[in-house]
Structure 1
Amino acid sequence: MKIYIMRHGQAGLYANSDAERELTGTGRQQSADMADWLSAIEPTLDCVLHSPYIRAAQTWDVIGNFFTVNKVEVCEDITPYGDAEFIADYVKALVAQHNHETILLVSHLPVVSYLTSAMTAGKHMPAFATSAIACLEMNGNDCHLKWLETPASIK
Structure 2
Amino acid sequence: MLTRRLPATVEPYRLAANHELLEGTIDLDALSRLAAEIGEQSGQAQVSLQFGRDAQRRNLIEGELSAQLQMPCRRCLKPMSVPVSSRFQLAVVSSDALASEVPSEYEPVLVDNEHLDLLGAIEDELLLSLPQVVYHEESACAVSRDQMQSGESADERAPARADSPFDVLKTLKGKL
Greater relative contact order (Cα < 8 A, sep 6+): 1
TM range (shorter): under 0.3
TM-score with structure 1 length normalisation?
0.26
Report the TM-score, using the length of structure 2 for normalisation: 0.24
Q: Rg bigger for which structure?
A: 2
